[in-house]
Amino acid sequence: MITFHGRGISKGIVWGPVFFVRHNQAEASQPQGDFNAYQEVERYRRAREQVYEELEQVFQMAYVRFGKEQADIFRVHQAMLEDQEFINCAEGCIVNERMYASQGVATACKVFENIFAQLPNEYLRERSGDLREVTGKVLQALSGIRSSSIALPEYPVIVAAKDLLAADVVTMDPKRILGFFTKHGGATSHLAILARTMSVPFVSGIGEDLGRMPQDIQALVDGSQGTVILAPSQLTIREYSQKKQQLLQKQQRLEQLRRKPCVTKDGTPIHLYADISRPEEMERVLLDGAEGIGIFRSEFFFMNYSYYPDEETQFRFYRRLVQGMHGRRVVVRTLDAGADKPLSYLPLGEQPNPALGMRAVRLSLRDPQPFVQQLRALLRAGAYGNLSAMVPMVISVGEMKQVRGLWERAKRELEQEGQLYEEQMELGVMIETPAAAMTADLLAPYADFFSIGMNDLTQYTLAVDRTNPELAQAYQPSHPAVLRLIESCVEQARRANIPVQVCGTLSQKVLVEKLARLKVDAITAPPGELLERKALIRSLDLSEPGFAKAQP
Ligand code: PEP
Ligand code: MG
C-alpha cells in the first residue's frame, strides 16, 4: 500500500482498477536535406491546420457528450492555436533563428509558458497547461502523428496519467470512468472542470510518474483530501467506505437546504449569491438554489481571447448569463485587468508596483473606448433579464463621476441607434480599497449598491500581498481594521438607502458570522460552497450576544 498526496480537485471517494494512459511521445523528426525556412514555416502552418480540424472533431464529440459549455473549451484551444503573438514568435524562431518547425514551436511554447508561470493568478497560470496541450498536438502533427482516441477497458476504471488532456477525456466513454489522478495539473485546468461536471473524484499533482506500474493495479482516490492510495488494504477500503457514507449523508443534509430560505435563526434574511468564473457553473448554482450571481469577473471572459472581444461578442456572452439565470439577479463586474490579471492585448508597460498600478477602473478610464463598448454590451444584455454592473477598485468620487458620464453616454448612443437596452440597469461600486470604504458616504450618490471585495479590501487595508504565500498568516480578513471599514461602509449605505453585498473569499466561518452581525445584505460563495454557507447562516442566532456556535 503506497499513499500519495496531491491536490483534491473534484470531490468524492472511489476505488477500483487503474488504467494508466501512456501517451505517444512526439519524436522531433526533422525533414531530410538542407534547412529551408520557407518549408519549415509551411510545415508549421499545415500542422496547425491539421490540429485545428482535429480540435473541431473533439469539439463536436464534447458537444454531444458534455454539452456546449464544456465543448467551448476546444474553441478556446482553437483560438490559442491561432494566437497571432504565438505564431509570430514561433515563425520568428524558424525564420530568424533558423530553427526547424518543431524547435520553433517548442521554443515559443517555453517563452509563453515562462510568461504565464510568473503570473500570480492561478487561473491565468494554469492557462499554460492549455498552451502545452495545444502545442503538444502541433508537435505530434509535425511528427506525423494523428490524434487518436484512448480506448478504455470494457469495465469502469480510475484513469491515471502524467498529464491528462481535456481532449483525451472527451474521447473516452464517461460510463467507464470512476475517477482520475495525475502527476501534474491544477484546480482550474479544463480537465478539472470536466471531472467536476462528471461528478467523479480527481486528484492532481501527486508528483510521481506512475507510468511503470502494472495496468489494473487497485487504487483508492479521495478527491476531498487529495489522496491516492495504491493497492489499498481491505481495512483501508473499509475505513474509506465509512467516510464515503458520512460524506454522502452530509451532502444529503445540505441538499435538503436547496429550497430553504437563507435566513438566520432569529429571522434576519441574508441574500446568498454565487461567485462564478465560467457560465457552465450556472447549472449547479441554480440546482443549489442560489438567488443569483453576485459576481461574474468579466476578465475571465476576456482572457479567452487574444484580442479585445467586440461589443457584439460581449453582448451575446452577457445575454447568455442573464438568460441562463432565468430572471435571477446577475452582477457582472466591469473589466478588472492589470496586476495579477494582465491581458496580452491591453499593454500596461513596465509597472513598478502592479497591485498599486494601472489596473481595473483606472485602465478602463485610461482607454474609455473599449470601456464604453463593455458598458454598451452590458446595457443591451440587461434588456434580457436581471443584470447589474459594478466597477472594481474605485478610490474616488472623481472616478465614479467619469464612469457615470460614460454610462450615460453609452445609453445615449444606444438610444440614438434605436437599440434595445435596459435604461434602469443598476451600477454598483466595489469597495475594495480603504479610500472607498472611508468615503462611502461620498460615493453612495454614484452607486446603486455597494459590493465589498474582501480580497482586495484586506490586501490594501493591511498592506499584505494577497498572493504571497509567506504572508498567509498576516492576511486576516477578520482583522479589526477591515471589519471597522466594513461597519462604517454599511452604516453609510443604510443612510443612503442602498444595499451592501460582500464578495471575495469568505471561507472563515467566523468572518461570515461577523459580516452577518454587521448587517450586510448579501454574501457570495463559489458554486461548491453555497449550501454550506447557507447552513452556516441558518445556524446563526444574531439575537444572542457574542458569536453563536456555527454548525457545519
Ligand atoms: C475581491 O477583491 O474581493 C474581489 C471580489 O475581486 P477579485 O478577487 O477578483 O480581486
Ligand atoms: Mg478585487
The verdict on 74 and 176 lying in the same domain is no
The verdict on 78 and 217 lying in the same domain is no
As for how many domains the chain has, the answer is 3
Mean pLDDT of 340-345: 77
> Which ligand places an atom closest to the C-alpha of 340?
1
pLDDT tens readout for residues 53-84: 989 988 888 888 777 777 888 888 898 899 88
Query: Is 503 marked active-site?
Result: yes
Q: What is the pLDDT of residue 474?
A: 93
Q: How far apart are CA 540 and CA 544, in angstroms?
A: 9
Q: How far is the CA of 455 from the centre of ligand 1 (A)?
A: 5
Q: What is the pLDDT of residue 417?
A: 98
Domain hosting 212: range is 2-19+153-254
The verdict on 76 and 125 lying in the same domain is yes
Mean pLDDT of 475-504: 96
Query: Is 190 marked active-site?
Result: yes
> What is the pLDDT confidence band of residue 187, given thresholds at 50, 70 and 90?
low
The verdict on 404 and 333 lying in the same domain is yes
Residue keyed to cell 443612510: 495
455 CB within 6 A, ligand 1? yes
Atom 6, ligand 1: residue with shortest CA distance: 453
CATH number at residue 230: 3.50.30.10
Q: How far is the CA of 457 from the centre of ligand 2 (A)?
A: 8
The verdict on 315 and 397 lying in the same domain is yes
Residue 240 phi/psi, 5° resolution?
-70, -30
Do residues 498 and 440 touch, judged by C-beta distance below 8 A? no
Q: Could you tell me which of 481, 534, 524 has the C-alpha nearest to residue 504?
A: 524
- Residue 280 is given by DSSP the state G
The verdict on 320 and 461 lying in the same domain is yes
The verdict on 326 and 441 lying in the same domain is yes
The one catalytic residue in 190, 262, 271, 326 is 190
Is the pLDDT score of 188 beyond 60? Answer: no
> In terms of pLDDT, which residue wins out, 342 or 538?
538
Task: Supply the DSSP string of 211-227, one letter for each residue.
Answer: TTSPTT-EEEEETTTTE
Q: Could you tell me which of 117, 107, 51 has the C-alpha nearest to residue 81?
A: 51
Q: Which of 234, 254, 274 is the last residue of a domain?
A: 254
How much is the pTM? Answer: 0.75
pLDDT tens readout for residues 236-291: 999 999 999 998 999 999 999 999 999 999 999 999 999 987 787 898 899 999 99
The verdict on 213 and 260 lying in the same domain is no
pLDDT tens readout for residues 503-518: 988 877 889 999 999 9
Is the pLDDT score of 31 beyond 80? Answer: no
532 in a structural domain: yes
Q: How far is the CA of 390 from the centre of ligand 1 (A)?
A: 12
Q: Which of 97, 112, 142 is the last residue of a domain?
A: 142
> In terms of pLDDT, which residue wins out, 487 or 526?
487
Q: How far apart are CA 136 and CA 468, in angstroms?
A: 31
> What is the pLDDT confidence band of residue 189, given thresholds at 50, 70 and 90?
low
6 CB within 6 A, ligand 1? no
133 CB within 6 A, ligand 1? no
Geometric angle at alpha carbon 16, from 529 and 217, rounded to 5° = 130
Label the pairing between strands 7-10 and 13-20.
unpaired
